[in-house]
Structure 1
Amino acid sequence: MSASADRARVQRAAMRIGVLVGLASALIIAGGVVTLVLLLLTSGRPEGHHGDARPDADPDGDRFVVDVDHVLPWVVVLGVVGVLLLAFVAWFAARRAVRPLADALQTQRTFVADASHEIRTPLTALTSRIQIVQRRLDRGEDARPAVAELRRDAAVLDEVLTDMLLAAEGQHTGEPAEVGAAVEAAVSTVRPLADDADVHLAVATPAAARVTLAPVTLTRLLVALLDNAVQHAPRGSSVTLDVEEGTRDVTFRVRDTGSGVADEDRERIFERFARSGEVGRRRGFGLGLALVREAATAAGGSVRIEETSPRGTTFALTVPRA
C-alpha cells in the first residue's frame, strides 16, 4: 500500500470518527433536553394551583411554577448521565482511532519475524558456502564454482525479501512456477545444510507441471519443508522429496527418518511460534511450518502431516496447478 493510500485511509478513519462523535453528542444532548422538558411539564403547575390565591390575569399570559427542589436532583442526574455517555462515546471513538495503528504494529511485527525466518536458511547456506570457498582457497583449488553458488545464494536472499514485500502489499508476485525449477532451486539452497548435517538429499524426477504460486514463493515453501526435515533427520540418514502430479494440483512430499511428531502436536506445529520440542540441530523460532501453511492456504492449497511414526515423518504440500 502506497503512502498516499495510507493517508487517504487515515483521513477516512478520522472523518468517520468525527461524524460518530458529533452525532452521538447531538443525540445525547437532544435526549437530555427532551427529558428535561418533559420533567418540567410533568412536575410544574400553573401559578395559583392547589388553592393558592390566583392573582389577576397576567397580560403576558399564564405563569408556570416549577418546584426547584424537585427538579434540581433530576438536572444533576441528567448531567452526570450525559457526561458518562459522552465519555463512553469518546472511549469507543478512541478505540476505533487507534485500531489501524494497532493493526499496523502487528503487521510490522509479523513481517519482521517472517522476514527474519525466511532469510535464516539462505543465510546459513551462504555461510556454509563461504567456508567451502575458504577451504578451497587454502588448498589452492579452483573456487570459482563455489563463488558462483555464493552469487546465486545472494540472489535468492534478494528474491525472498522482494517476494515477501510484494506479498505484504497484496501484490501479485510473479508468473506461475515451474515445478522442476523450483525443486532444483530449493535443493540447491538446502544442500550445504544437509552436507553439514551428514544428511543425504534424495530428489525424485520432478513433474513438468506449473502451479499457481510464484517461483520464489514455491521455492521458499520447499526450502522450509526440506530444512525442517534435515534438522530432524539423524546423521547418516536421508531426506527425500517426491512430486506427484494430479489433474488439478501437484503434491510435494518431504520425508525424513526422525523420531516423528506426537499426536497432540500434529496441528499445533503449524501455529506461529509453536514447537514440538527442541530436537533439531539448529534452534528455530517456530515459524517455518506456519508460513508454509499460510502461503499454501492463500494459494488455494494445503500442507499437512501425511504420516508420522518413530521411523519418520512425511509432510505433504498440495498446490493447485496453473
Structure 2
Amino acid sequence: MGWQIAAASAVVVVLAGLTTLALSPLLGRGRPEHGGGPDRDDEILRSTLLVAGVIGVAIAGVAGFLIARRAVAPLGEALARQRRFVADAGHELRTPLTVMHTRAQLIARRMEPQDPALPAMRQLLDDSRVLGEIVDELLASAVLTADPGRGEPIEVRALLDEIARSMAVLAQAREVQISVAGPPGVWVTGSRVALRRALAALVDNALGHTPPGGWVQLAVDVRGEHVVLAVTDSGEGLAGLDPAELTRRFARGPRAADGPGGRRFGLGLALVQEVASAHGGTLTLGPAPTGGARAELVLPIRS
C-alpha cells in the first residue's frame, strides 16, 4: 500500500506541474495589458499555482479514495469468508450433535433408576444439549453479523426473568439476593440464545464477586431508540481497573477471582462484547452507584 501512495503522490506532483505550464499562457492572455514586469509575472504565477493546487488536491482525494477502497476490499472478503465458514461448520455440526443427543436420550430412558451410570448419562445429555446451543449461537451470530435485521423478536423483560430463575439456585447457594426490575413489553431484535448466554455470563460474574448478604439486580430501561439491559451488583466493584482493559480476552484483575478479591473475566466479557456488536449494540462496564459494578448491554429497540 505504501508504494501505491508514493506513486499516487508522484503523479499528483507531475500533473500539478504540467497544469501550471499549460495554464500560464492562458491566464496571461486573458488579462488586459497594464505593462509588463515582475509584478505581473508574479500575479500570473500565483493564479496558476492556485488553480494547479486545487486540481492537485482533487486528484489526490480521488486517488486516496480509490487506494483506500482497494486496500479495504481484502478485509471485507476475509470477513465474508469467515462468516461462510462459521455458517457451514454450524450446519455440518448440527446434524451429528442432534443424532448424538437423541441416542443419549434413548439410552437414558432404557436405564434402570438404580443404574450407577445414570448420573453420568444425564450429564452427557446436558453436555450434548449445551453443544447444540453453542452451534445454534454460532449460526445466529453469523446471520446477525451479515444482516442484523434477520434476528427474531425478543421481549427482554421475559428474558431477564428467565435468567433470574435459572440463576436462583446459584444465588441461594452463595446467599445473594437476585431480582429483576423494569417494564415489560420492551422488544429487541436478535438471537435469544446468544443474548441469554451473554447476560447469564454477566450475572454469573456478578454473583461470583458479591459477598453473602449482597444482591444482584437485572434491569431493563429504555433510552430513546435504545434498550439498556443492566446487571448491577453490590460486590467489590472494579477496584480501580480500566473497564476497556477488562474486555480483552483472558483479562483479569490484579488478583484471581478465587483469591481475596479482584475481578476475573477470562473469555466471558470479550464474548459478551462480541454478542453486543453482532446485535448492533455496545457493552459498557463501570462502577455502580452503590459501590459495586454495573454492566450495561445497550441494544437498538425493535421498532
| TM-score normalised per structure 2 | 0.50
Alignment partner of 1:176: what SS? Answer: strand
- Contact 1:303–1:318 (Cα < 8 Å) also in 2: yes
Partners of 2:127 and 2:161 in 1: CA distance: 13
How is 1:54-203 mapped onto 2 (pairs within 5 angstroms)? Answer: 158-168=132-142, 174-203=151-180
- For the structure 1 residues 281 and 178, does the alpha-carbon distance in structure 2 shift closer, same or farther, using more than 3 Å as the test? farther
Per-residue deviation, 1:287: 1.0
1:239 aligns with 216
Is 1:263 the equivalent of 2:263?
no
Residue-by-residue CA offset, 1:96-131 (whole Å, 9 max, x unaligned): 9xxx8xx98xx99xx9xxxxxxxxxxxxxxxxxxxx
Alignment partner of 1:267: what SS? Answer: helix
| TM-score normalised per structure 1 | 0.48
Partners of 2:184 and 2:131 in 1: CA distance: 26
Per-residue deviation, 1:276: 1.4
Per-residue deviation, 1:277: 3.7
Alignment partner of 1:230: what SS? Answer: helix
Partners of 1:299 and 1:240 in 2: CA distance: 23
Per-residue deviation, 1:213: 2.1
Is 1:287 the equivalent of 2:267?
yes
Partners of 1:193 and 1:154 in 2: CA distance: 22
Per-residue deviation, 1:185: 2.4
- Contact 2:158–2:184 (Cα < 8 Å) also in 1: no
Partners of 1:253 and 1:190 in 2: CA distance: 16
Alignment partner of 2:227: what SS? Answer: strand
Code of the residue aligned with 2:189 in structure 1: it is T
Per-residue deviation, 1:171: 6.5
1:124 aligns with none
- Contact 2:232–2:288 (Cα < 8 Å) also in 1: no
- Contact 1:260–1:310 (Cα < 8 Å) also in 2: no
- Contact 1:251–1:319 (Cα < 8 Å) also in 2: yes
Residue-by-residue CA offset, 1:217-250 (whole Å, 9 max, x unaligned): 2211211111111011011211111111233111
- For the structure 1 residues 280 and 193, does the alpha-carbon distance in structure 2 shift closer, same or farther, using more than 3 Å as the test? farther
- For the structure 1 residues 157 and 255, does the alpha-carbon distance in structure 2 shift closer, same or farther, using more than 3 Å as the test? farther
- Contact 2:238–2:287 (Cα < 8 Å) also in 1: no
- For the structure 1 residues 309 and 210, does the alpha-carbon distance in structure 2 shift closer, same or farther, using more than 3 Å as the test? closer
2:95 aligns with none
Partners of 1:319 and 1:285 in 2: CA distance: 22
Per-residue deviation, 1:311: 2.7
Code of the residue aligned with 1:317 in structure 2: it is L
Residue-by-residue CA offset, 1:130-163 (whole Å, 9 max, x unaligned): xxxxxxx9xxxxxxxxxxxxx9998666334311
Partners of 1:278 and 1:160 in 2: CA distance: 30
Tell me the percent identity: 35
Is 1:303 the equivalent of 2:283?
yes
Partners of 1:180 and 1:201 in 2: CA distance: 15
Per-residue deviation, 1:188: 2.6
- For the structure 1 residues 281 and 192, does the alpha-carbon distance in structure 2 shift closer, same or farther, using more than 3 Å as the test? farther
Per-residue deviation, 1:192: 2.1
- Contact 2:141–2:275 (Cα < 8 Å) also in 1: no
Alignment partner of 1:221: what SS? Answer: helix
- Contact 2:182–2:221 (Cα < 8 Å) also in 1: no
Is 1:230 the equivalent of 2:207?
yes
- Contact 1:225–1:254 (Cα < 8 Å) also in 2: yes
Calculate the aligned-residue CA RMSD, in Å: 3.8
Partners of 1:319 and 1:297 in 2: CA distance: 9
- For the structure 1 residues 158 and 205, does the alpha-carbon distance in structure 2 shift closer, same or farther, using more than 3 Å as the test? farther
The unaligned stretches of length 5 or more in structure 2 are 1-73, 90-112, 114-124
Code of the residue aligned with 1:180 in structure 2: it is R
- Contact 1:225–1:289 (Cα < 8 Å) also in 2: yes
Code of the residue aligned with 2:279 in structure 1: it is A
